[in-house]
Amino acid sequence: MANAFSKEERVAFEDILEGFQDLLVLSRHVSIYNTNQTEMARTNDTIWRPMPYIAQSITSTPGNAISYKNMTQLSVPSTIGFSQTVPWTMTTLDLRDALQEGRLGESAKQKLASDINVAIMNTAAAQGTLVVPIGAAAGDYDDISLCDTIMNEQGVPDYDRFLGLSSRDYNGLAGNLSQASRSFGNQKSDKAYERNFVGMVAGFDTYKFDYANRIAAAAGGTTTINTTTAQAQYVPQATSTSVGGQINVDNRYETVTVSNTVGVVAGDAFTIDGIDAVHHITKQSTGELKTFRVISVTNGTQMVISPPIISAVTAPTDAEIQYQNCKITAAASAAPVNWLNTGAASINVFWQKDALEILPGRYAIPADAGTAVMRASTDQGVELVMQKFYDIDSMVIKYRLDTLFGVVNKQPEMSGILLFNQ
């Protein structure tokens, strides 16, 4: 059969799939949602995925009527937006080396797995809103425990937590754990010293990234925000009315007006004087300033931030009460904005599994196009497709290895960044 895969190529593809699955470290630690590909094709590869519900309770005694509450289901747009391929060619002269095909396939597998891992890491790094700045270099257990603290204070589930550290920061932490003075029964300290292995620390499964992003020092100057206006009381809503009818609303972001945005860029982290974080379930104040991220800058006085300021202060709706994420302790017409990324640093990311989600996609490749096709999926549903085509005129064989997927941060308040030397 023309352009058919040989037995050796089929065996090699099985090896590629197995290795690809092993390399997908991060995809195993985020949620997976397997979409209906017909529906995705009809919706421009975008669907709306639900955010976690937050319920509201009331005091009730038998014999007394109760007031039933409206539950507001918020959702976020999720897009299969990564179409990654590694194409290569081989001539009939190249094929004389029986190992050449395998080496090229191995490199393609490695690159596509890296693309998926980097996409997940980039999403967490750009949109995580829990910010933990550390005033020194990495090297202490307490650095990691602060990530645990901020998650616990705000009601993030205490299971399936993960932390990805840059190589330098990971090694700095391992150096601290390797000290014999630490009470690990020597087992953990020995592994840290001999293998540079950290493992689980402060409730987080830790990983070493060789592709961590960096953040620059905030260049914004003195900036203030009016916390007495409606922008300090964002009202969550599942839908809004447009010319075409009801449309979904993405409640992860809010456009706010500030005194100026000179020097401000996407990714900057900040707090606002007088706005404390609350526990998302109990609504008790943590006594600590709420952390925010800049998503984009609109103009000289407006920027998009995450999360929105949901303070539920004045005649709040049920949705505000349910999704309240902060408490205004001292409203001001010019509340100072405090930049947290005061120095350039690697972005270390931490998250709870339900915060991030990967959406595997699938190509509909025609079977009668004259191209040999092999396809298979990992345990998480991420698909690999290999194609082969031989051109008799040039005696060149074309190969390509493809994968299709999307990544979404469904709940930025369940993920964050850890910055050293701030």
Q: What is the mean pLDDT of each run of 10 residues along the chain (422 residues)?
A: 75 88 86 92 93 76 77 92 95 88 89 93 96 91 92 95 92 69 53 58 88 93 96 94 86 97 98 97 96 97 98 92 96 97 97 95 86 90 93 93 96 97 95
Q: Are the C-beta atoms of residues 267 and 400 closer than 8 Å to each other?
A: no
Alpha-carbon span 382 to 290, nearest angstrom: 36
Question: How confident is the model at residue 397, as a pLDDT?
Answer: 92
Read off the DSSP letter of residue 321: H
> 101: domain range?
7-54+77-125+355-412
Specify the pLDDT at position 95: 87
Residue 421 lies in a domain: no
Q: pTM of this prediction?
A: 0.89
Q: What pLDDT does residue 45 have?
A: 94
82 and 170 assigned to the same domain? no
22 plus 121 within the same structural domain? yes
Same domain, 261 and 205: no
113 shares its domain with 93:
yes
Indicate whether 120 and 136 sit together in one domain: no
Q: Identify the CA nearest to 124 among candidates 209, 235, 198.
A: 209
Does any domain span residue 242?
A: no
Q: Determine contact, residues 151/202, Cβ cutoff 8 Å.
A: no
How many independent structural domains does the chain possess?
Answer: 3
**Considering the domain boundaries, does residue 417 fall inside one?**
no
The pLDDT value recorded for residue 180 is 47
If you compute the radius of gyration of the chain from its CA atoms, what whole number of angstroms results? 25
Query: Are 132 and 277 within 8 A, CB to CB?
Result: no
Among residues 287, 312, 340, which one ends one of the domains? Answer: 340
DSSP code per residue over 14-53: HHHHHHHHHH-TGGGGSEE----HHHHHHTTTEEEEEPPP
End-to-end CA distance of the chain: 63
- Is residue 206 assigned to a domain? yes
- Same domain for 229 and 286? yes
> Number of H helices and number of E strands within the chain?
7, 25
Boundary of a domain, candidates 340, 375, 391: 340
Bond prior to 307 in cis (omega within 30° of 0): yes
C-alpha–C-alpha distance, residues 420 and 136, integer Å = 6
* End position of a domain, from candidates 340, 371, 397: 340
Give the number of residues written for the chain. Answer: 422
Instruction: Kindly state whether residue 1 falls inside one of the protein's structural domains.
Output: no
User: What's at 249, amino acid-wise?
Assistant: V
Please tell me whether residues 25 and 110 are part of one structural domain: yes
Quote the CA–CA distance of 265 and 305 in Å, as a whole number: 11
pLDDT at 63: 75
Whether residue 285 is contained in a domain is answered as yes
pLDDT of residue 266: 97
Structure confidence at residue 193 (pLDDT): 44
Quick one: residue 421, left, alpha or beta (phi over 0 = left, psi -120 to 50 = alpha)? left
350: left (phi over 0), alpha (psi -120 to 50) or beta: beta
pLDDT of residue 9: 84
Same domain, residue pair 20 and 106? yes
**Could you give the 3-state DSSP secondary structure of residue 148?**
helix
CATH number of domain containing 35:
3.30.2400.20
In this structure, are 121 and 137 located in the same domain? no
For residue 321, the domain's CATH number is: 2.40.30.240
pLDDT value at position 177? 65
Domain co-membership, 394 together with 322:
no
Alpha carbons 397 and 104: distance in angstroms, whole number: 13
Which token pair is 245?
């009818």
| Spatial separation of the C-alpha atoms in residues 98 and 200, rounded to whole Å | 43
Q: How far is CA 292 from the centre of its chain?
A: 15
Q: Are residues 35 and 115 in the same domain?
A: yes
165 with 100, same domain: the answer is no
Question: Rounded CA gap, 7 and 11, in Å?
Answer: 6
In a domain, 420, yes or no: no
Asked whether residue 243 is domain-assigned, the answer is no
